Structure 1
Amino acid sequence: MSDRAKRPPAAEAAPPSAARRGIPLGIWALGFVSMLMDISSEMIHALLPVYMVTVLGTSTLAVGLIEGIAEATVSITKVFSGALSDWLGKRKFLAALGYGLAAFTKPIFPLAPSLDWLVAARFIDRIGKGIRGAPRDALVADIAPPELRGASFGLRQSLDTIGAFIGPLLAIGLMWLTMNHFQTVFWIAVIPAFLSVGVLLFAVKEPERHGEIRRVRMPLRREELGRLSANYWWVVAIAAVFTLARFSEAFLILRAQSIGLSLALTPIVLVIMSLVYSLSAYPIGILSDRIDRVAILIFGLILLILADLVLAFASGITSVGIGVALWGLHMGFTQGLLSTLIAETAPAELRGTAFGVFNLVTGMALLAASVIAGALWDAVGPQGTFLVGAGFAVLAVMGLLPVRDRFGTSPRA
C-alpha cells in the first residue's frame, strides 16, 4: 500500500438523512449494544472515584493508578482479541464473549465488601471490554459501506455516548431517591448490561467473509505486522501523544468536587461531557466522509487545549461546566475519526489486529497519563494537572501538521 492515500474522484455528497438510511441495521444494533452497556458501566463508574476517595479513603494518586492500570488491561487484551478475530475470521463471537463477561461482573460492585473486591471487579469488567473492543470495531468496518465509514463509526460512537450520559443521569436520580445508597444504584446498573448482551446475540448478523480476503494464520507475526502501512503507524503514533493529554475522566469528576460540587451531583460532570460528545460524534463522522479528516482532528485537539486551560483556571461550577463541555466536544471531533483512520489504513484481513495494536499503544499512553495526572494532582493540585495535559495536546497538534497530505480528503465514492 502506498504511504500516500489515494484520492478517489469526488462525487456529490449525500445529505445526512440519506447517510442515516444507507447505514446498515447491524451498525445501529451495535450502537444500541454499546449504549446499553455504557448505561450500566457509567452508572457505576460515575460514582466509583468519589466512592473510593470519600467512603474508602483512597488517595487521588491511587485512583489514577487504578484507572490507568484498568484501561491498560483493556488495551493489552484488545491486541490478542483483535488478532484472534483475524485468525478465526469471526468477530461476533469474541464481541459477545466480552460483553457477556462485563455483564456477569456487574453484580460484584454492589456485593464488594472492600476496595480489593472493587478493584478486582473493575479489572474483570475491563478485560471484558478488552475482549470485545477490537473485534467490535473491526465488525463495524466490515459491515459499513466504504463511502459511509466515517458516518458509521460516528453513529456507533454517538449511541455509545448517549449511554454514557444516561448512565450518570440515572446515577444522580437514584442517589437522590436512595439517599446516597451506592449499592442500590450498582444493583440497578446490572439490568442494562444483560439487555446489551441480548441485543448483540439476536440483532447483529456478521457478514460472510469474502473469498478474496486473505486468510491470516499468525496475525501478530512480524511479517503480518509489516503489512500495516506507514500511514497506519502515523495514526497510532499521533493518537498516543494525543492520549497523554486525555487522561481518565475520573479527574473531571474530582475537579468538580474540588470546587464544591456536592457528592450526589458529581455524576453531572459525565452527563455534560457525554451529552456534548454524543451530539457531535455522528455529525462529525458524516462531515469526515466529505472533507479533510486531519483538519478535523487538529481542530479537535485545539478544543482539548481550550478544555484543559478552562479546567486549570476554573473557579466555580460554571467554568468547570464549560471546560467539561469542551472536553466532550473534542471527544466528538476525534474518537470516531481515529477509528475511521485505522479502518482505512489497515488491510481488511488485519483490521482486528490493527485495532488491537492501536488500542494497546493508546492504552499504555492512558496509563502513563493517568498516573502522571494523579501524581501532579497530589503534588501541585488540579491546575498543574490540566496545564500539563494542554502541553501534550500542543505536541500532538505539532505532530499532525507535517503529515496532513499523507491522508488526503475523503469524498464519497
Structure 2
Amino acid sequence: MKIITRNVLILSMVSLFTDIASEMLYPVMPVYLRAIGFSVILIGILEGVAEATAGLSKGYFGNLSDATGKRSPFIRIGYALSAISKPMMALFKYPLWVFFSRTTDRLGKGIRTGARDALLSDETTSRYKGRVFGFHRSMDTLGAVFGPLIALLYLVFHPGNYKALFFIAFIPGILSIGITFLIREKKKTVPSLVKKPGFLDFIKYWKVSHAVYRQLLIALLFFALLNSSDVFLLLKIKENGFSDTTVIGIYVFYNFVYAAFSYPLGKLADKTGMKSVLIAGLLFFVAVYAGMAINKSELFYFVLFFLYGIYAAATEGITKAWITNICKEKDTATAIGMYTSFQSICTLLASSITGLVWYAYGGKTALLITAGGVFLIIPYLLLLKPGYKLNKVD
C-alpha cells in the first residue's frame, strides 16, 4: 500500500508554504505591532481574540465538513483566508483593521483544520496513521525553519522594514492556495443535510463518541491547560542575557529537529503504539521545562531545545493519528475539530495563567509548576486503553 499518497503530499506542500508565510512574520509581529502604536496589553487582547476565534471555529467547521461529507472546499477557503490576511495587516494601521486581519488569519485555520486532518485520515488505514500525520507535520514544520530564516535574511539588508515582509509573505501564501486545487477528493455518499449544524453543535459529539476518545481528550486538555506558549521558553533564554540572534537561532534549531523527527516517530508509533510514543514525548516535555527552569548555559539551551523538538514530534501528529483511530470515519473532522477547539481555548488560558505566575513568582517557578503538572498526566495515560482500529480495518 502506498503510504504517502497524492493528496497527502499535496496537503503537506500546502502546509509547508502556508507555514513559511506565517513564520516569516512570527519573529517580527510583536515588534511591528509596537511600531504602529499597539501597547503590550492591546497585543495580548489581539492574540486572545484571534485564538478564541480559531478555537471555536475549528469545532463548528469540522462538524460542518462531516455533515456535508466534503473536505476540499473547507481546505481551500481556510488556506485562502490565511494567505490574504498577510498583506491586509500592512495596508492600514487602524486597530480595528488589524484585529480584523489577524482574526481572518485565525478563522482560516479554524475552517481548514478538521477537514484537512479528516482528509489525511481518509487517505490511509490505522496501520499507517502515524506515518501519514508525521509526514504532514514534518513538512508543515519545515516552514517554521525556512520562514524565520527568510525574514532574518531580508532584515539584514533592509533593517526595520517590517511592512514589506507582510507583502513578501503573501507569495508563499498564494502558492499554497494554488496547490489546494490539485486535491482530488473521493466522492462520498452522505445523508441529505436537512439543516446546517449550530455553531456549538460539535459539543454534542462528546455524548456519542467512544469512551476511549473521551478519556484521551481529558488527558490532552489537561496537558493543554499546562502547556503555555513557546514564547515563555524564549523569554527565559532572553532573561539570561542572550542576544536576539541566539534566541531566534535556537527557535529555528528546535523546528528543524521537530521536522526531522516527525516522520520517524510517526513510523515508530505505528509499530509500537501511539500511547507509548506520546508518553515518551511528555517525559521529554517534563525534562525540558525542568531544565529550562535552572539552566543558564547557551550550549545546554540547544540540548534542551533538541529534546523539545523530539517532544513536539512525538505528540502533535501522534495525537491526531490516535484520535482518528478511535472515532468513526464519518465523524473524523468533528472529533478533530472538538479536540482542537478546546485545545486552543485551554492553551490561551495556559498562557494567561503562566504569565500571571511568572509575574508574581518568577520564571523558574512557572516552568517548574508546568513540569510537575504534566508529569501527573503520565500515570493516567499509562492506565488508558489504546482503543486502536475502531475507525478503519486494515
Tell me the TM-score normalized by structure 1.
Answer: 0.86
Q: Does 1:206 align with 2:185?
A: yes
Secondary structure, in 3 states, of the residue corresponding to 2:271?
A: coil
Counterpart CA distance in 1 for 2:204 and 2:225 is 29
Q: Does 1:234 align with 2:228?
A: no
Q: Does 1:311 align with 2:311?
A: no
Distance verdict in 2 for CA 1:269–1:185, change over 3 Å? farther
Query: Residue 281 of structure 1 corresponds to which residue in structure 2?
Result: 262
Deviation string 1:85-136 (CA, Å, 9 cap, x unpaired) is 0111101101111111111111023334266554443222111111111111
Distance verdict in 2 for CA 1:124–1:385, change over 3 Å? farther
Structure 1 contact 248–370 (Cα < 8 Å) conserved: yes
The structure 2 residue matched to 1:173, chosen from 144, 153, 160, is 153
Deviation string 1:41-96 (CA, Å, 9 cap, x unpaired) is 0111222235556885744x765554444333212100111011011110110111
Residue type of the alignment partner of 1:397: I
* Correspondence 1:72-221 to 2 at 5 A: 72-113=52-93, 117-201=97-181, 203-209=182-188, 211=189, 220=201
The structure 2 residue matched to 1:370, chosen from 351, 359, 365, is 351
Residue type of the alignment partner of 1:276: V
Structure 2 contact 205–334 (Cα < 8 Å) conserved: no
Secondary structure, in 3 states, of the residue corresponding to 2:272?
A: coil
Query: Residue 4 of structure 1 corresponds to which residue in structure 2?
Result: none
Distance verdict in 2 for CA 1:330–1:56, change over 3 Å? farther
Distance verdict in 2 for CA 1:323–1:47, change over 3 Å? farther
Secondary structure, in 3 states, of the residue corresponding to 2:229?
A: coil
Distance verdict in 2 for CA 1:253–1:180, change over 3 Å? farther
Query: Residue 383 of structure 1 corresponds to which residue in structure 2?
Result: 364
Residue type of the alignment partner of 1:72: A
Counterpart CA distance in 2 for 1:56 and 1:399 is 47
Structure 2 contact 202–334 (Cα < 8 Å) conserved: no
Structure 1 contact 303–327 (Cα < 8 Å) conserved: yes
Counterpart CA distance in 2 for 1:254 and 1:297 is 26
Secondary structure, in 3 states, of the residue corresponding to 1:28?
A: helix
Counterpart CA distance in 2 for 1:257 and 1:54 is 21
Distance verdict in 2 for CA 1:385–1:393, change over 3 Å? same
Secondary structure, in 3 states, of the residue corresponding to 1:86?
A: helix
Structure 1: give runs of 5+ residues left out of the alignment.
Answer: 1-18
Cα deviation for residue 216 of structure 1 reads 7.2
Residue type of the alignment partner of 1:288: A
Structure 1 contact 80–356 (Cα < 8 Å) conserved: yes
Distance verdict in 2 for CA 1:73–1:392, change over 3 Å? farther
Structure 1 contact 158–279 (Cα < 8 Å) conserved: yes
Secondary structure, in 3 states, of the residue corresponding to 1:365?
A: helix
Counterpart CA distance in 2 for 1:172 and 1:261 is 17
Structure 2 contact 54–110 (Cα < 8 Å) conserved: yes
Query: Residue 399 of structure 1 corresponds to which residue in structure 2?
Result: 380
- Give the length in aligned residue pairs: 388
Alpha-carbon RMSD across the aligned residues, in angstroms, is 2.6
Counterpart CA distance in 2 for 1:118 and 1:83 is 29
Query: Residue 321 of structure 1 corresponds to which residue in structure 2?
Result: 302
* Correspondence 1:234-313 to 2 at 5 A: 234-263=215-244, 266-313=247-294
Cα deviation for residue 225 of structure 1 reads 4.6
Deviation string 1:225-284 (CA, Å, 9 cap, x unpaired) is 533101111121111112123211222333333233334554324312211111111111
Structure 1 contact 178–184 (Cα < 8 Å) conserved: no
Distance verdict in 2 for CA 1:112–1:276, change over 3 Å? farther
Distance verdict in 2 for CA 1:337–1:215, change over 3 Å? farther
Percent identical across equivalent pairs? 30
* Correspondence 1:348-367 to 2 at 5 A: 348-367=329-348
Comparing 25-34 and 286-295, the one that deviates more: 286-295
Secondary structure, in 3 states, of the residue corresponding to 2:93?
A: coil
Counterpart CA distance in 1 for 2:192 and 2:206 is 14
Deviation string 1:153-189 (CA, Å, 9 cap, x unpaired) is 1111110011111111212222222124222222211
Secondary structure, in 3 states, of the residue corresponding to 1:184?
A: helix
Structure 1 contact 152–285 (Cα < 8 Å) conserved: yes
Q: Does 1:345 align with 2:331?
A: no
Secondary structure, in 3 states, of the residue corresponding to 1:90?
A: coil
Cα deviation for residue 346 of structure 1 reads 1.0
Tell me the TM-score normalized by structure 2.
Answer: 0.90
Secondary structure, in 3 states, of the residue corresponding to 1:106?
A: helix
Distance verdict in 2 for CA 1:408–1:25, change over 3 Å? closer
Deviation string 1:367-406 (CA, Å, 9 cap, x unpaired) is 1111112222332332222222212211221321221x34
Secondary structure, in 3 states, of the residue corresponding to 1:22?
A: coil
Counterpart CA distance in 1 for 2:43 and 2:368 is 20
